[in-house]
Structure 1
């Protein structure tokens, strides 16, 4: 049964991955190219201080307060917020219309890596390392403040996104203080806003509002451990690759480890299509 704060489930199923899940959508690393003067760029590299991933479900009565809280935090341009709807409660009378099994696996991996016996919703994971009930604003604020001090108020790897008529140029810029560890560059296309009228399960009759709802998590490539500021990485994406299925925004995440064992966030940035 659901607690007042969250709904939990045990890690009763093995973690399974196929090559398509882990490297599906793999794109080649392009050369660093000059960008047209008319191109549009996101916030300066190194501006992002935190990535907050919310694991939520339309089938969980405890989740709407966390969903609303993420809408507030998404207004902070120094925080990358991603809503990751999971499938674990689909059997309770309502199938989440936005859920992706990849997000459920990602949450289970996080739980396994920290030695947890199960997963729960709503759950917020900050910078890949800290977790708390997604509606616990006090805990989230404390974690963000602590991580900001530890990271000198920014993530160590810069991410620049430049758009032109051909698509997007993504540049990964290791800083002087960047950790020398292997990392994965991930594309997360998302819908900026979604409203869902729930017709079954614990949230029957409720209209739920979401922000930055991820559609997918697509590894673009690996950042070698020996990366240096003088050797940035560049990825070139077409508009269709960066914004599939009528998504209107995307995030680029640089996370230590690989999809089977994700670690701390090293860098991130988002792009939003003009409204």
Structure 2
């Protein structure tokens, strides 16, 4: 994986107020003492790439890839941060999960901050989940079963708790494949061998937010296309999307 600064971050949108980039899996949004050995940071790389200050307004987990927005001046940063805090931003994620997830479900399950004291109060947390597709492979990942099932899930968090989607999917017994903290180790290793890569299969697909200049709804997406069959003939997938596009095109999904 390229070191910070060696490969420019793909720009998905840029104007005088904000910039949206594709955050690669494995990159931190900014420096943190919790991961002191990491060298790849979106904030510093993007600042050097654009030649100007950038202001973070939300974050993605280190293992999550996809759409990340930063403001380009303090006024826009305040407006965007307020929109995220007021839950005025629609967030849509794609996740590869264990088993056949429910067709649709709303998870309303409070979460205690993971770094909080044992007696800390849990905070309200809500996520809408919808299964987009499912599959069953004839190979067994667990000796108890003849095959291996998985689902492609659309997750729309209504609140913004740390690791919310990952924890809510674990709560309903459909953890994200590749989630080393909340998932199943043997299953993660089986899928890593099957897919040829070790990673968290969680993708920040789309953001719809009020533009800080005039409040109009701005829709930002990563460029990933589902259903994959809708891709135009001759379509060339950008390098940064190839892991996910291969997942969508290379497995026997049933919509």
Alignment TM-score, normalising by the size of structure 2: 0.26
The alignment's TM-score, normalised by the length of structure 1, stands at 0.25
Higher relative contact order at CA 8 Å, sep ≥6: structure 1 or structure 2? 1
